[in-house]
């Protein structure tokens, strides 16, 4: 005796795959892409291909119907096997070690910014905005980015900093000007390329081998940030080394992943200290997405105003209601002359409220 799949049963099973995969995704927090694909393929099959008299065994071995049934069944079993593996061995695959976590489910009162809030923040940041140019020649343009503005166009809004810079430089293909980006909530120094040769050269300076991860060389791009963080740091200076990867359950967030994460290093130095907050100088030796924000959250000092990696009470402490992260300086070699150039932008002085300078011996440090 063998199982028989009629055309009506096959279509019903395909629809079940769609509903079941969506429900499983909501319950477990993990995406179930293979069954969803199976369901979509099954539902989209023409009715003529799913005749009520067609069966699993009766269809000719070389028929399209038989091959479709076989493919759907194989994908279904593969997705079931993968779901069992990820459900049985999650610690071996992914690790969340942050005190506040990088999952929204781990934070009471978590309030991530949605698309509408991001658009509103950008519009507010760009109202009456005049391009603040720090340097401009035939190869590069260095500007100051306001907090809340988009570096590049988003899904729902075309206006962005690179569009404004391209208009100033009279360049049509603005996408070929982008050397690096800052998060929407971050303010500070940003460099754009005016031509392909400059773009290639500046990209090369961002590579880890150019930055000399294990030393203090100045061959590559050097970025310095300032952040206002919750609580007091365990040490006045040090480095944070935690591997990072995408948090596929909560995009666009990142997470600590000791199994498959990319090596990430951040140097820090406390500049000013208060009762419940510190002003910290930061140097990202590597340039992972959200690196500074995740690293600081993971050592128990989330950045004030961070909607992704800080609890709601820490978000609400932020002066000005913004992410308190600022790209204070940027140093690189000019792509044509090889001269070392350094540009700075002061952080908001309202962040100094209630803080005092720390030991003078720290003033000459790298950050």
CB 303 within 8 A of CB 310: yes
CB 35 within 8 A of CB 76: yes
User: Quick check: is 136 catalytic?
Assistant: no
- Report the C-alpha gap between 178 and 27 in whole angstroms: 40
CB 190 within 8 A of CB 145: yes
Q: Which residue has the tokens 């909501």?
A: 26
Please pick, among 136, 137, 183, 352, the residue that the annotation labels catalytic: 183
Q: What is each CA distance from 172 to 129, 177, 182, 215, in whole angstroms?
A: 21, 10, 22, 40
Give φ, ψ of 240 to 5 degrees: -115, 125
Q: What is each CA distance from 50 to 14, 74, 139, 334, in whole angstroms?
A: 12, 18, 62, 65
CB 196 within 8 A of CB 176: yes
Q: What is each CA distance from 197 to 163, 201, 339, in whole angstroms?
A: 20, 6, 16
Question: What token pair was written down for 210?
Answer: 């150019």
The residues annotated with a catalytic role in the active site are 183
């Amino acid at each position: 005796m063998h199982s028989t799949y009629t055309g009506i049963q096959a279509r019903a099973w395909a629809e079940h795959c769609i509903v079941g995969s969506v429900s499983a995704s909501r319950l477990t927090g993990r995406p179930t892409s293979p069954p969803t694909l199976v369901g979509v393929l099954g539902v989209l099959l023409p009715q003529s291909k799913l005749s009520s008299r067609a069966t699993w065994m009766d269809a000719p071995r070389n028929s399209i119907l038989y091959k479709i049934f076989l493919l759907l069944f194989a994908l279904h079993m593969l997705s079931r096997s993968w779901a069992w593996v990820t459900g049985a061995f999650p610690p071996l695959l992914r690790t969340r070690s942050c005190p506040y976590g990088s999952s929204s489910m781990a934070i009471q009162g978590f309030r991530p910014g949605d698309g509408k809030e991001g658009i509103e923040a950008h519009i507010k940041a760009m109202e009456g905005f005049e391009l603040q140019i720090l340097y401009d020649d035939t190869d590069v343009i260095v500007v100051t980015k306001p907090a809340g503005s988009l570096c590049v166009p988003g899904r729902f809004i075309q206006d962005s900093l690179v569009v404004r810079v391209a208009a100033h430089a009279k360049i049509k293909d603005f996408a070929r000007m982008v050397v690096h980006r800052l998060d929407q909530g971050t303010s500070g120094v940003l460099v754009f390329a005016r031509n392909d040769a400059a773009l290639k050269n500046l990209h090369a300076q961002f590579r880890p081998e150019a930055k000399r991860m294990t030393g203090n060389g100045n061959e590559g791009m050097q970025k310095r940030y300032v952040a206002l963080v919750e609580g007091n740091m365990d040490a006045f200076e040090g480095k944070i080394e935690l591997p990072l990867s995408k948090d596929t359950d909560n995009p666009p967030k990142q997470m600590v992943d000791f199994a498959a994460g990319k090596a990430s290093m951040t140097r820090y130095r406390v500049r000013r200290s208060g009762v419940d907050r510190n002003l910290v100088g930061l140097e990202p030796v590597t340039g992972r997405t959200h690196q500074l924000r995740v690293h600081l959250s993971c050592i128990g000092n989330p950045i004030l105003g961070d909607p992704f990696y800080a609890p709601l009470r820490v978000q609400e402490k932020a002066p000005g209601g913004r992410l308190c992260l600022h790209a204070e300086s940027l140093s690189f070699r000019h792509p044509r002359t090889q001269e070392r150039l350094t540009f700075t932008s002061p952080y908001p002085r309202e962040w100094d409220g209630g803080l005092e300078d720390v030991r003078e011996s720290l003033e000459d440090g790298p950050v």
